[in-house]
Amino acid sequence: MNWDVKYYPEYWDGKKLAYPHVPKESPKFARSMVVGNLIFVSGSTGQDTITGKPTAKTFEDQMKTALSKVKMAMEEAGSSMGNIVKTIMLIKNRDDYPKMRRTEVEFYMEHAPNLVEDPPSSTFIVPASLAKPEFLVEVEVIGVMDRETPDWNVQHYAEFWGGKKLAFPHVPKEHPKFARTQVVGNLVFVSGCEALDHGTLKVETDDFKEQTRICLEKIVAGMEQTGGSINNLVKTYVLLKDIKDYPLYKETEQAFFKEHAPDLAKNPPATTVINVTSLALPEFLVEVEAFGVVDKEAPGWEVKYGQGTGLSSSRASAGNLFFLSGCDGSDSETGKMETQDIEEQVHRALDKIKATLEGAGSSLEKMVKTFMLLKRLEDYPRMRKAEVEYYEKHAPKLVENPPVSTFLQLAGMTHPEALFEMDVTALL
């Protein structure tokens, strides 16, 4: 297996997004990182970072700018827009969803026609805010260099609702459009699964546990269609409308795993919880996105599980890819949050990440991608300052070459006193 890494820095107004080219409080991340055949692209907003023009006021114009930046990143890496296999669509206002899907498919029609008929796997998130109050949309993608690369070839599995393929023109431009799953080599991307009945196109229950089971059953179907099984999950993202439902989610998930995925009941996948302000429909209470493998024993793709440094955290690897559960600044042994200083919480979270990575034979400097999750938007400058100062001391390479990154403000986190949480994908 080829796991070679190539790094592409991000520039805003001609300045590299790394310290000391920009202040410590500034955003700092890579434009993209190539790992083998995979391309990880940082979240792209509607801010014009090339010409420095004011951010457009309309959703459609911001969306086109974000997608143009994604296109540029894919092409810079030597690929193309048509090689996107996974998207996360983040929008500030749930009501903009139809505009988002319409603008997306119209952009594909012009720049990536193959994605019109076979759209990427996708997950939709409405955070409390993006990095600036004026930002209406952000697009994060994973792509491939080449769909036919040996050991990394791409397979598309379409999603159907009411007997119609979720692609234009089978459904309207404003309609949800995404793949059920995409496979790259042995790696499986499962689109966010919710409680919609795909036959009746209705949400048949408002019971949280029932909705959770429906989500997990859809993941079972998606994994089995690829030739794998739910036992082969390595990472999940759990989107909750109400963070208070998290204990109920864990209880339901554990019972489901015991029945359908006994391996995961003993060794759960790495998991990060995202408290959204809304899901795609008002009736949805939970959504689950998953990463897995078709075959845990495939050469070069062996899967391993373990505990992270922190209560109830977990980690998993698939080949050289390493997935870590979201880490906050709580004490690893007691679970108590001993400080309400944002910089201290960032440093303590990074301490746990550093210890977990090193315990698995990796390091901070092998981080590929991060989700930076923050409770208070006003803490963003201090968060970035604390991050780079930690790297100066513990991972000097990341000062000049920070990882791919996406930022979200959340309404709440699993630890009620957490101000910050960090989700990591790294290399072994």
Domains in the chain, CATH or no CATH each: 37-185 (3.30.1330.40), 192-300 (3.30.1330.40), 302-428 (3.30.1330.40)
Q: What's the confidence (pLDDT) of residue 317? A: 96
Burial of 400 (0-12, 13-18, 19+ CB in 10 A): middle
398/103 Cα distance (integer angstroms): 35
This prediction has a pTM of 0.97
410/428 Cα distance (integer angstroms): 29
Beta strands in 110-216 (DSSP E): 121-125, 137-144, 154-158, 160-161, 164-165, 179-184, 187-193, 196-197, 202-203
Does a cis peptide bond (omega within 30 degrees of 0) precede residue 20?
yes
Q: What's the confidence (pLDDT) of residue 311? A: 54
272/161 Cα distance (integer angstroms): 28
120/107 Cα distance (integer angstroms): 14
- Residue 238 tokens read as 């759990």
Closest among 69, 24, 22 to 42, alpha carbons compared: 69
Q: What's the confidence (pLDDT) of residue 425? A: 98
Task: Region of 115 please: left (phi>0), alpha (psi -120 to 50) or beta.
Answer: alpha
Say which residues have a Cβ less than 8 Å from residue 242's Cβ, sequence separation at least 6.
275, 285
Beta strands in 11-150 (DSSP E): 11-12, 15-16, 30-35, 38-45, 84-91, 121-125, 137-144
160/100 Cα distance (integer angstroms): 20
279/274 Cα distance (integer angstroms): 11
Q: Is 144 helix (H, G, I), strand (E, B) or coil?
A: strand
**pLDDT tens, per residue, the chain with 428 residues:** 889 999 999 999 899 999 999 999 999 999 999 999 999 999 999 998 887 788 899 999 999 999 999 999 999 999 999 999 999 999 999 999 999 999 999 999 999 999 999 999 999 999 999 999 999 999 999 999 999 999 999 999 999 999 999 999 999 999 999 999 999 999 999 999 999 999 999 999 999 999 999 999 999 999 999 999 999 999 999 999 999 999 999 999 999 999 999 999 999 999 999 999 999 999 999 999 999 999 999 999 999 999 876 655 689 999 999 999 999 999 988 999 999 999 999 999 999 999 999 999 999 999 999 999 999 999 999 999 999 999 999 999 999 999 999 999 999 999 999 999 999 999 99
Closest among 37, 57, 224, 65 to 144, alpha carbons compared: 37
Closest among 303, 337, 284 to 235, alpha carbons compared: 303
| H/E element, 69 | helix 59-76
Beta strands in 207-351 (DSSP E): 233-240, 270-275, 286-293, 303-307, 314-318, 321-328
289 neighbors 190 (Cβ within 8 angstroms): yes
Q: What's the confidence (pLDDT) of residue 312? A: 55
Which DSSP symbol is given to 29?
A: -
Q: What's the confidence (pLDDT) of residue 333? A: 87
Burial 184-202 (b: 16+ CB within 10 A, else e): bbbbbbbbbbbbbebeeee
Enumerate the β-bridge partners of residue 371. Answer: 406, 423
